[in-house]
Amino acid sequence: MSAVIKSIEKGSPCDGRRIVPGDRLVKINGHRIRDVLDYKYYSAEACLLLEMHTVEQAIRLVRIRKREEEDLGLEFTSYLMDAPKACANRCIFCFVDQLPSGLRKTLYFKDDDVRLSFLQGNYVTLTNLSEAEIQRIIQMRISPLNISVHSTDPALRSFMLGIRRIGAGLDALRRFQDAGIRMNCQIVCCPGINDDAHLERTMEDLAGMYPSVMSVSVVPVGLTKHREGCHPLEPFNPENALETVRQVERFARLCLVRLGTRFVYPADEFYVKAGLPIPPEEFYEDYPQLENGVGLLRLLKTEFDEALPVIAQASDRPFSVATGMAAQKWIEGLLEDTKRKFPQINADVYGITNEFFGDTVDVAGLITGGDLIAQLRGKKLGTRLLIARNMLRHGETVFLDDTTIEDVEKALGVTVRIVEQDGADLARALCGN
């Protein structure tokens, strides 16, 4: 009942067809529209018959002719046209369970929604799918999907997900393989839990599902200081981070021979933690796991190196950069590259210790406005402060702790320049453009 239309894109196939905000889309070519997946699947054809329920509760039929796959141009009041599906798991490493109290309510909602996996790249466990949902994915051939696997040992996976059904979700994984559904998988690696021999087995099992499973990322568990009541876990240290990188790279070399692709990739965090250089660009092939923090730093450097030579001038006004502790040296290196071309550049890079979540959390994307203010107050900031876009809530200027950009600017007396997740924009920002 939630496929209510919010707006109609001007010039789209539905523009000028007597469809107005408040109307509800009920069927397309006789198929009931339950959510966004139904909408995208059934609206792909060129000739459509839409059944609308108007604001006055009248039924209106609208015929549409368009190009195949062309979007109808309808925006709905709810993106999913349905409520997001909550996660019933109790994962031993769940980041939501490690959040402090007092944050906005939406941050505490745990989704495990396969629709968001397909549409936005979220990772799902497959344990919260009904049989009807599995069949719909297969019928509609919805892919690629992003799957959190963690372990292919049924008992260990159930333990890590905090569920009683041994091996839940693994059967769906195999059914999707049989149906030719394409998948990217991730392994959240926890020292002493699913590393070493367990990690080897999981990588081997997933490689056996290639090419349906297209790629696998291995990412280190993220632990905050707010773990009361959670299963005891240890963060990675430089030694076991190095061992894990070597193990994953060794398996990737085997896959390159066997499959023609490295297939499995360690997250950038492992290299930073181990004190290793980030691999060259060819290591990441076509960057299949970029959204999972795999190759992000390498791509940033590649884009930066391509953009810097074409920048003609740079400002000599002093400025500053704030980033997570993990990326501080990386950003300092890019700044030195910039200074070699433009010696007049005057800047300081500040690594922000995450007091809000705990100092084991060292990525820029989880820095709060409160930590920025507390640690930069009184520092030499210059005329502008550069921060990464991923510190902010998507599409907004609000940090995780609800501090705003305006709050930071007022408290620190400096203009904040938001840098996009793009090496070219970083190069422009460092040059004052």
Q: What is the pLDDT of residues 48-93, one digit of tens each?
A: 999 999 988 899 999 999 999 999 999 999 888 888 889 999 999 9
Q: What is the fold of 96-293? A: TIM Barrel (3.20.20)
Task: Provide the pLDDT confidence category of residue 315 given band limits of 50, 70 and 90.
Answer: very high
pLDDT at 390: 93
Q: What is the pLDDT of residues 227-259, one digit of tens each?
A: 999 999 999 999 999 999 999 999 999 999 999
Peptide bond connecting 144 to the previous residue in cis, omega within 30 degrees of 0: yes
Q: How far apart are CA 217 and CA 318, in angstroms?
A: 39
Answer whether residue 1 shows pLDDT above 70. Answer: no
pTM: 0.90
Sign of CA dihedral 112, 113, 116, 117: positive
Percent of all residues in the chain with a pLDDT value above 90, rounded to a whole number: 88
Average confidence (pLDDT) over 289-307: 95
Percent of all residues in the chain with a pLDDT value above 70, rounded to a whole number: 100
Write out the residue limits of the CATH 2.30.42.10 domain(s) in the chain.
Answer: 5-76
pLDDT at 107: 86
Average confidence (pLDDT) over 413-424: 96
Q: What is the pLDDT of residues 113-132, one digit of tens each?
A: 888 888 888 999 999 999 99
**Strands of 325-369, DSSP E:** 347-352
Average confidence (pLDDT) over 151-168: 94
pLDDT at 394: 77
Q: How far is CA 313 from CA 340, 372, 420, 430, in A?
A: 13, 29, 20, 11
Which residues share a beta bridge with 350?
A: 322
Tokens describing residue 128: 């919260």
Q: What is the pLDDT of residues 173-223, one digit of tens each?
A: 999 999 999 999 999 999 999 999 999 999 999 999 999 999 999 999 999
pLDDT at 278: 95
Write out the residue limits of the CATH 3.20.20 domain(s) in the chain.
Answer: 96-293
Residue type (1 letter), 164: R
Write out the residue limits of the CATH 3.40.50 domain(s) in the chain.
Answer: 301-430
Contacts 24+ apart (CB under 8 A), 30-34: 33/3, 33/81, 34/81, 34/82
Task: Provide the pLDDT confidence category of residue 393 given band limits of 50, 70 and 90.
Answer: confident
Task: Provide the pLDDT confidence category of residue 342 given band limits of 50, 70 and 90.
Answer: very high
pLDDT at 118: 83
Pairing relation of β-strands 47-53 and 59-65?
Answer: antiparallel
- CA nearest 334: which of 242, 268, 425, 433? 425
Chain centroid to Cα 212, Å, comes to 21
> What CATH code is assigned to 301-430?
3.40.50
Tokens describing residue 130: 């009904």
pLDDT at 417: 97
Check: CATH 2.30.42.10 for 5-76?
Answer: yes
